[in-house]
Amino acid sequence: MSGYVMENDTIAAISTGLTAAGISVIRVSGPDAFCVAEKIFRVKNQGKLQKLSIAGVDSHTVHYGYIVGEDETILDEVMMLVLKAPRTFTREDTIEIDCHGGIVVTRRILRRVLEAGARPAEPGEFTKRAFLNGRIDLSQAEAVIDVINSKNELALKNSVKQLNGRVQTEIVEIREKLLRQVARIEAALDDPEHMNLDGYSDELLSENAGHLSKIKALLATADRGRLLKEGIRTVIVGKPNAGKSSLMNALLRYERAIVTDIAGTTRDTLVEEVNLDGITLQLVDTAGIRETKDTVEQIGVDRAKQELLQADLILFVTDASVKLSTEDRDILAEILATKENSGAKVLAILNKCDLEMVTTEEHLQNAVRNGMRNHSDAREVLREGDSDRVSDIEVLSVSVKEVAGIEKIEEKIKSIFFAGELRNDDEVIITAERHRSLLSQAEESLRKVQDSVEMGMPEDFYTIDLMAAYVSLGQILGEELDEDLVDCIFREFCMGK
């Protein structure tokens, strides 16, 4: 954390939502926190308001009293927590005022705190001070905001593990071993008479392979981590009146999208989130894709095609009560092109199976096979007879109107993306893109070490890449980081945290 300037002023902010509630919490942290509190807090003694000498009270105690204005007028009846450094979140003297939860009274008390000598805290500044004061590392600080923003139980569980130092533990262990390797090489190079590196190359290769294995294991979780943190971008596409909006409503369990018998009712994209047994889906209902001269509808069609490019999962909805049309096949071609380029998962949904089925699952699978023949990599697959790759787009028959088969879709989504793997309580999952990038840099550096050893390069070449890996891993924890980057990370926090 070299290069950082420690803040010596006292900050304050409202740490609860500004809304009508039972209580609100105002947090004050810094060297003058107790002085600020003594200026505005009063206790009753024999019917008279008196100051509380905070120096004379124990840490981590709660005191009943009143917040007063400059003229000693009572502003509110409160409970005040006294938390003495270093046993606080920021490792600074801290005061927390629990007042009544009205917007006006909460803002008035905050204003009184500021009048008494504190300044308004910036977003994430309390957590930033916890980081700068060495209470938590940067990976734990980032986990704080992930806990706050968790969209489901699995994301919350993983964020809590990171907050408790699980990522830190993994990284620190590797870095300690890298540093020992560098120290051994440099010591031998400085004093070759008393230390030699005979046979060390094989030892280094073996230990380095272990580091690479651990880093690769962490990187392997990153894609799942992103889906866990942000949700699965699930784009529902199909021609007009296939049942896309009805499917969205069925997955949400309430009527969100307007549904009519008129083709083209949906003109724009509609985004909602649904929690699916611990997994978050970002459901995107799109306009029916077809050729149209309607300017507004065409904008919706273009947006639907753009959404395909951002999708993690595409739900292709077709109408089982009619034959597959040219529009269906064109949409399928668009989906297959997207799948080939972006790797999006695809489920084909055969809707309206409660009616007489003119299009069957076999018809739709054949359309998928024919569509794949239009793609270069698919031709080779078909020649080799790799049925698994050809049929990896599954077809599910449902009746959205009768709410039949919706559970099959939900179970298939969970199977496609996670297959129960996130139930492993011991696994550390990487959710931050910053962590993924730095782990990749460390992996590349360690691969260079392997190459140098195998090519018989001099030992001082090893230390360059070993130290590069050491630095990259250290940046995950917040070491040797640019101050502007740290500020950028904490600006993502909410006020008062």
- Position with higher pLDDT, 80 vs 484: 80
The predicted pLDDT at position 146 comes to 74
- Position with higher pLDDT, 85 vs 276: 85
Residues 196, 301, single domain; the answer is no
Q: Which residues contact 91 (CB under 8 A, 6 or more apart)?
A: 85, 129, 130, 133, 134, 135
Burial group, residue 121, by CB count within 10 angstroms (0-12, 13-18, 19+): buried
Lowest mean pLDDT among 135-139, 207-211, 378-382: 378-382
Query: What average pLDDT does this structure show over 349-373?
Result: 77
- Position with higher pLDDT, 424 vs 152: 152
Q: Which residues contact 225 (CB under 8 A, 6 or more apart)?
A: 158, 429, 430, 431, 432
Here the CATH number for the domain that contains residue 186 is 1.20.120.430
Kindly report the average pLDDT of the chain as a whole number: 80
Res. 99: pLDDT tops 90 = yes
Residues 299, 372, single domain; the answer is yes
Residue 92 sits in which domain range? 11-135
Confidence band for 312, pLDDT divided at 50, 70 and 90: confident
List 333's β-bridge partners, or say none. none
Res. 29: pLDDT tops 70 = yes
CB 58 within 8 A of CB 52: no
Residues 383, 449, single domain; the answer is no
The predicted pLDDT at position 378 comes to 40
The 10s digit of each residue's pLDDT in 51-64 is 999 989 999 999 99
* Single-letter amino acid, residue 343: G
How many C-beta atoms lie closer than 10 Å to residue 223's C-beta? Answer: 15
The predicted pLDDT at position 220 comes to 83
Confidence band for 297, pLDDT divided at 50, 70 and 90: low
| Size of the chain, expressed as the number of residues it contains | 497
The reply to whether 497 falls in a domain is: no
The predicted pLDDT at position 393 comes to 78
The predicted pLDDT at position 477 comes to 86
CB 311 within 8 A of CB 344: yes
Residues 301, 450, single domain; the answer is no
Residues 242, 359, single domain; the answer is yes
Residues 271, 383, single domain; the answer is yes
Q: Give the separation between CA 42 and CA 23, rounded to whole angstroms.
A: 19
Residues 123, 213, single domain; the answer is no
Q: Which residues of 146-175 are buried (b: 16+ CB within 10 A; e: fewer)?
A: beeebbbebbbbbbebbbebbbbebbeebb
β 21-29/345-351 pair status: unpaired
The reply to whether 491 falls in a domain is: no
Percent of the chain with pLDDT strictly greater than 70: 82
Q: Give the separation between CA 50 and CA 469, rounded to whole angstroms.
A: 59
Here the CATH number for the domain that contains residue 121 is 3.30.1360.120
Burial group, residue 415, by CB count within 10 angstroms (0-12, 13-18, 19+): exposed
Task: List for the chain the helix, strand, coil content (%; round to 5).
Answer: 50, 20, 35
Residues 291, 374, single domain; the answer is yes
Specify the number of domains making up the chain: 3
The predicted pLDDT at position 90 comes to 94
Query: What average pLDDT does this structure show over 443-449?
Result: 93
The predicted pLDDT at position 118 comes to 95
Residue for token pair 């078909």: 382
Confidence band for 265, pLDDT divided at 50, 70 and 90: very low
Query: What average pLDDT does this structure show over 301-320?
Result: 82
Confidence band for 432, pLDDT divided at 50, 70 and 90: confident
CB 446 within 8 A of CB 211: yes
Residues 470, 395, single domain; the answer is no
Q: Which residues contact 171 (CB under 8 A, 6 or more apart)?
A: 139, 473, 474, 476, 477
Q: Give the separation between CA 194 and CA 182, rounded to whole angstroms.
A: 17
Residues 436, 416, single domain; the answer is no
The 10s digit of each residue's pLDDT in 366-377 is 777 776 555 444
Percent of the chain with pLDDT strictly greater than 90: 26
Q: Which residues of 15-42 are buried (b: 16+ CB within 10 A; e: fewer)?
A: bbeeeeeeebbbbbbbebbbebbbbbbb
Handedness of CA 478, 481, 485, 488 (dihedral sign): positive
The 10s digit of each residue's pLDDT in 393-413 is 788 888 887 778 888 888 888
Q: Give the separation between CA 37 and CA 16, rounded to whole angstroms.
A: 19
Res. 4: pLDDT tops 50 = no
Residues 69, 177, single domain; the answer is no
Here the CATH number for the domain that contains residue 339 is 3.40.50.300
Query: What average pLDDT does this structure show over 93-115?
Result: 94
Query: What average pLDDT does this structure show over 19-42?
Result: 93
Lowest mean pLDDT among 114-123, 309-318, 418-427, 451-460: 418-427
For every residue of 66-112, DSSP letters joined together read EEE-TT--EEEEEEEEEE-TTSSSSSS-EEEEEEEE-HHHHHHHHHH
Res. 69: pLDDT tops 90 = yes
Helix (H, G, I), strand (E, B) or coil at 424: coil
Residues 208, 91, single domain; the answer is no
Angle, helix 138-149 to helix 125-132, in steps of 10 degrees: 150
The 10s digit of each residue's pLDDT in 126-164 is 988 988 898 888 888 877 777 776 666 666 776 777 777
List 77's β-bridge partners, or say none. 66
The predicted pLDDT at position 290 comes to 66
Measure Cα distances from 286 to 251, 252, 417 in Å: 15, 15, 22
Res. 262: pLDDT tops 70 = no
Confidence band for 256, pLDDT divided at 50, 70 and 90: low
The predicted pLDDT at position 386 comes to 41
